[in-house]
Amino acid sequence: MAVTAVVTAGCLVACGSDSPKTDPKAELQIWVRKPPGSSTEKTDQQLAAAFTAKTGVPAHVTALFDDFETKLQQAAAQKKLPDVVINDTDRLGGLVKQGLVRPVDRASLAGQADLTPASWQAATGADGKIYGVPFSAQSFALFIRKDWREKLGKPLPATWAEMDALATAFTTGDPDANGKPDTYGYVIPASTKRGYTSWYFASFLFSAGGDFLTGEPGKLTPAIDSPGSLAAAQEFQKQFCTDKSVVPGSVTAETTQAHPLFETGKGGIYLTGPYNMARFDKNLGKDKYEVVALPPGPGGKSVSLAEGENVYLMAGSANPSGQTRFAEYATSVEGQTLGMAGDTDGNVVRLPVNTKVDMATVRKDTRWQLFAGIYQNGARYAPVVPDWTPFRQASADTLNALVADCTSDPKAALGKLARTFTDELTKQGAGA
């Protein structure tokens, strides 16, 4: 089915033929994927309040985290979509496919030229049209228990072999000196929910010289069974099954369960984002851990997954001008600075997408510059397809099975996954 047909059908469900009359004074309902009661929710509320103070457009923030996408689907079915959603860049394709978002006229947005080209790329659909306004970007790095590493006399890892050796030492060497075998190397959110396994694995996949797909948008073929991809999958399975250096229970862990495993001393190596630094500084202690780039993999490079969030202007809004004005404010220097929240754990803008923002004047913590450098030096977004979600979920299911059942054959599993990818590319009209 053509993408345009899917969008039209989805919009009939989400928007209905009884779209409301426009009202530039109507209150904007803004949904954010943040835990209710969190510091990040408070920052989003402050952002909305500052927007209202500046423009006079009323706005209300609703923070949702668990089952966010399900709740959005329910709202669409009831024809009660929020006006604005701030959510991950890789959710763009699914939102477009279902007709839940309206296209963005980039040229008409105030300040659009100040946003980075890479962030606009992450707001562009497979059809070349823009369906979101960039809001935040991020990359990922290794968080390592410095105190454990120094106690055991180990160097910072410069290769995957050294990284695995450090993880094994954390597992067997009693780095917390309590006389109990209760520490492990890796903290890994390997749950299949929302495709977490695939999300975590992506940086290792890219660094091994592998990929999910290859080719140009609209002419893609699977790369998940390539030699580089196989090397990454074998490494992943090795950590769980051979080295046994992963915190037990990781196969069902989401990020909300994984974060505490690092800060409470269960695991000592965690690939995660800069948003956790303020949290870990407070709950663990800044002096007890260090942040470094992922060592180069078999592909010879260190390549992080690039991610971020877009401001999505939802279909059927009674206040489309207010939607646009909010997007303009959120991406302005003022909005980006407010969203960065200094060095606190309330940041909703991780790396600013507005090139006029001087991050060093907003944040004194120089570790943020490490993530900025990782992002700028080759971090990669998920492939551009009409809907990335089926690929992410299928790969998460496959990878999770590889580490949940150590008798699984990575080569056979990736070959089967490649065939699933081929079928999905055909279904979406995105294959070669």
- 3-state SS record for the chain: CCHHHHHHHHHHHHCCCCCCCCCCCCCEEEEEECCCCCHHHHHHHHHHHHHHHHHCCCEEEEEECCCHHHHHHHHHHCCCCCCEEEEEHHHHHHHHHCCCECCCCHHHCCCHHHECHHHHHCCECCCCCECCEEEEEECCEEEEEHHHHHHCCCCCCCCHHHHHHHHHHHHHCCCCCCCCCCCEEEECCCCCHHHHHHHHHHHHHHHCCCCCEEEECCEEEECCCCHHHHHHHHHHHHHHHHCCCECCCHHHCCHHHHHHHHHCCCEEEEEECHHHHHHHHHHHHHHHEEEECCCCCCCCCCCCECEEEEEEEECCCCCHHHHHHHHHHHCCHHHHHHHHCCCCCCCCCCECCECCCCHHHHCCCCHHHHHHHHHHCCCECCCCCCCCHHHHHHHHHHHHHHHHCCCCCHHHHHHHHHHHHHHHHHHHCCEC
Identify the CATH class of 141-305+385-428. alpha beta
Split at pLDDT 50, 70, 90, the class of 19 is: low
Structure tokens at 250: 């990781």
Distance CA 96, CA 246 (A): 37
The reply to whether the predicted model has a pTM over 0.85 is yes
Q: How confident is the model at residue 138 (pLDDT cuts 50, 70, 90)?
A: very high
CA distance 271 to 223: 23
The residue to which tokens 């851990």 are assigned? 289
Render the burial of 364-376: b for 16+ CB within 10 Å, e for the rest. Answer: eeebbeebbebbe
For 337-370, the pLDDT digits (tens) are 999 999 999 999 999 999 999 999 999 999 999 9
Q: What phi, psi does 23 have (nearest 5°)?
A: -145, 105
What are the pLDDT digits (tens) for 27-66?
999 999 999 999 999 999 999 999 999 999 999 999 999 8
Give dist(CA 267, CA 170) in Å, integer.
8
**Least confident residue range of 7-16, 265-274, 364-373:** 7-16
Determine the pLDDT at residue 5: 35
Q: Spell out the CATH class of 21-139+307-376.
A: alpha beta
Task: Say how far residue 255 (Cα) sits from the centre of its chain.
Answer: 11
Rg (CA), the chain: 22
**Please, which residues have CB within 8 angstroms of residue 402's CB and are 6 or more apart in sequence?**
233, 236, 237, 408, 410, 413
In this prediction, residues 268-282 reach a mean pLDDT of 96
How far is 367 from 357, CA to CA, in rounded Å? 17
φ and ψ at 272, to 5 degrees? -155, -175
Q: What is the mean pLDDT of residues 219-234?
A: 98
Domains 21-139+307-376 and 141-305+385-428 share a fold: yes
- CA dist 165 to 153, 207, 231, 243, 245, Å? 12, 18, 17, 9, 9
Is residue 398 over pLDDT 50? yes
Average pLDDT in the 78-84 region? Answer: 96
Instruction: Provide the pLDDT confidence category of residue 20 given band limits of 50, 70 and 90.
Output: low
Q: Any idea where the domains of the chain sit in the sequence? A: 21-139+307-376, 141-305+385-428
Distance from C-alpha of 43 to C-alpha of 340, rounded to nearest angstrom = 9
Locate 351 and state its tokens.
Answer: 């790396």
pLDDT at 287 over 90: yes
Q: Which residue has the tokens 């299928």?
A: 394
> Does residue 371 have a pLDDT over 50?
yes
Angle at 285 between CA 283 and CA 288, to 5 degrees: 130
- Distance of alpha carbon 33 from alpha carbon 87, whole angstroms: 6
